Amino acid sequence: MAARGMLSVVRPASSDGAFETFVKILADGSVTAYNGHVDLGTGIRTALGQIVAEELDVSLARVVVVLGDTSQVPDQGATIASETIQVTAVPLRKAAAQARQYLIARAAERLELAAEELAIEDGLIRGRDNRSVSYGELIADQAIHLELADDVAVKTASNYTVVGQSVPRIDLPAKATGEPVYVHDVRVPGMLHGRVVRPPYAGVDAGAFVGTSLIAVDEASVRNIPGLVAVVRIGDFVGVVAEREENAVKAASQLQLSWKPTPTLPDLKDIEIALRAHPSTPRKLLDKGDVDAAIAAAAKPMPRTYVWPYQMHGSIGPSCAVAEYQSARIRVWSGTQNPHILRADLALLIERPETEIEVIRLEAAGCYGRNCADDVTADALLLSRAVGRPVRVQLTREQEH
C-alpha cells in the first residue's frame, strides 16, 4: 500500500512493477528529490535542489536531495562526463514541474478559480481574491501517485527566480565544522576493522595463475596480536579482521604468507625502456595513406618521440568502505562513483540478488585512480561475510598508489 500524506512522481523501473521515484512532496510541505548520480565535489546537491525548488515554486530550504542510495534513487548510471545537470537532472526537473501543474489544477478546483488566476509563493497557492491553499493541504492524507510524463512544460529561463542565483553550497557547513560526512567517518554497532594482504605481483590479472598462487597462510604468526578476530582466506584473497584498527594493521604486516614464484616484472625505473621491452600486440587506430613515402618526400623530416610520464592521482585520502553482510540483507557504505554498477558487481561477487544489496553512497576523497576502482568495498564485504559482523576497510597510502 502506498504511503499516505504524500505526492510522488515516479516512472516504471522494470517489468516486475517496481518504480523509481524522482520527487516526493509530503503533507507538511517538505520536498525530497532523488537523483542517481553522486556529488563528487562539484555541488550538484545544491544545483539539483535549485532546479526542483524552481519548478515547484518553493524555497530551496524546503528541498532535500538524496543522491546515490540504491534503495531510494533511480538508476541513472555512473557519475561521469559532467552529465548530471545536462542529462540526469532533466527527468527530475520534469517531475517537479509535473507535480506543480497537478497541484495548481487541484487548487483551481478547490478555490473555484481558473489556473491562470493563481500564483504560487513557497508552496502556497493564492488566488486574486486572496484565498489560498498550500501544497500540504492539497495532499492532506492522500496517496497521490503520478507517472512521469515526457511532454511536461517547464519554466523558461526568463521566469527563473532560483536557478541562476548564487546560493551557499548545502554541503559545505558540515564539512567546514568537521561533522562526520565522509565514508571514512562511518561507524556502525559491532563494527570490526579489516585489512587485506595483496599478492606480491602486479600485471597478472587473468589466467590460471590468478587464484592459485597462494601456497600457505601461517596463522600462528599473528596469534599474539590482541583483539584479532579472524584470518580470512578465499583463493588468493587474504585478509585479517580485528576489534581495533591498529591491530588489523599490525596483523596484516606481520602475517606470514607463502606464494608461488611470480612472473618476472620489468625494471620500471625508466618507463620508456620498460614499455619498449614489454611490447604488446599492435592495434591500428588509423590506416590511411603511405606514411613512409610521405616522410621520405618531406623537405625536412622531424622525427620525434613523445613519452607520457606516469601520472599518480594522489587522492588526499585513501579509499575506504564499510560492509554489513546479513542473511536477509546486505548494506555497504562506499564513496563510489557508480552506486548501481557497484551493486551489480557485488551481487556477482557474492552470488546474491541485487535486490538484497543496498549501496549507501557517502562522500570520499575524490573519484579518480584507485578511489574509482571500488575494490575496497569488495574487500569489506568479503571480510564481513566471513566473520558475520560489519567490517570497515581502509587502504594504506601505499595500496592506494
Q: How many C-alpha atoms does 205 have within 13 Å on its Cβ side?
A: 3
Query: What confidence score (pLDDT) does residue 204 get?
Result: 60
Domain 6-173 is in which class?
A: alpha beta
Query: What confidence score (pLDDT) does residue 45 get?
Result: 97
> Cα(56)–Cα(44) distance, rounded to whole angstroms?
18
> Cα(346)–Cα(75) distance, rounded to whole angstroms?
16
Asked if 86 and 70 count as a contact pair (C-beta separation under 8 A), the reply is no
* H or E stretch covering 254: helix 245-254
Query: What confidence score (pLDDT) does residue 285 get?
Result: 85
Query: What confidence score (pLDDT) does residue 163 get?
Result: 97
Residue type, 113: L
- 107: closest CA among 200, 99, 95, 342? 99
Asked if 204 and 210 count as a contact pair (C-beta separation under 8 A), the reply is yes
- Going from N- to C-terminal start, the domains of the chain cover 6-173, 184-263+313-400
Q: Do the bridges between strand 357-361 and strand 330-334 make them parallel or antiparallel, or are there none, so unpaired?
A: parallel
The third-level CATH classification (topology) of the domain covering 184-263+313-400 is: Aldehyde Oxidoreductase; domain 4 (3.30.365)
Query: What confidence score (pLDDT) does residue 206 get?
Result: 66
> Cα(399)–Cα(371) distance, rounded to whole angstroms?
11
Query: What confidence score (pLDDT) does residue 202 get?
Result: 67
Domains 6-173 and 184-263+313-400 share a fold: yes
Per-residue pLDDT tens digits of the chain, which is 401 residues long: 567 899 999 999 865 678 999 999 999 999 999 999 999 989 999 999 999 999 999 999 999 999 999 999 999 999 998 999 999 999 999 999 999 999 999 999 999 999 999 999 999 999 999 999 999 999 999 999 999 999 999 999 999 999 999 999 999 999 999 999 999 999 999 999 999 999 887 666 667 777 888 999 999 999 999 999 999 999 999 999 999 999 999 999 999 999 988 767 777 788 788 878 777 777 888 889 998 999 999 999 998 888 887 778 878 889 999 999 999 999 999 999 999 999 999 999 999 999 999 999 999 987 777 778 899 999 999 999 999 999 999 998 888 87
- Integer-rounded Cα Rg, in Å, for the chain is 27
> Cα(45)–Cα(171) distance, rounded to whole angstroms?
8
> Cα(325)–Cα(330) distance, rounded to whole angstroms?
5
